[in-house]
């Protein structure tokens, strides 16, 4: 089941998702409220969970576990980066 077609389909899906996110859903500049940010975060997390379940179904437990592990680590590192940005902005604000 490891074919080039799967990689092509995955990359096409990612390009379409990014194009929809930037070109359709967020075309106009506006202040993002907490509710909207939460809904979009849940939508993208739900999409990642769905992808992981598809991996589990088609490729088995190990690839799905590797994906979920990488996803959780990446989420943790992105939250860590927020604290780094906060420190940098506070230093330059003085």
pLDDT digits (tens, 9 = 90+) for 48-78: 999 999 999 989 999 999 999 999 999 988 8
**Based on the domain organization, do 25 and 43 belong to the same domain?**
no
Instruction: Give me the domain span that covers residue 49.
Output: 36-94
Q: Do 60 and 78 sit in the same domain of this protein?
A: yes
94 three-class SS? coil
- Asked whether residue 55 falls in the same domain as residue 90, the answer is yes
Q: What is the tens place of the pLDDT at every residue in 39-48?
A: 999 999 999 9
Distances (CA, A) of 94 to 47, 52, 55, 86: 41, 44, 49, 13
């Amino acid at each position: 089941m490891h074919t080039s077609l799967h990689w092509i389909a995955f990359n096409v899906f990612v390009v379409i998702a990014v194009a929809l996110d930037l070109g359709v859903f967020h075309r106009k500049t506006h202040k993002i409220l907490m509710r909207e940010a939460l809904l979009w975060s849940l939508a993208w997390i739900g999409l990642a969970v769905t992808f992981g379940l598809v991996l589990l179904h088609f490729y088995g437990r190990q690839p799905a576990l590797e994906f979920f592990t990488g996803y959780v680590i990446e989420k943790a590192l992105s939250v860590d980066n927020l604290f780094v940005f906060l420190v940098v902005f506070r230093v330059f604000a003085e």
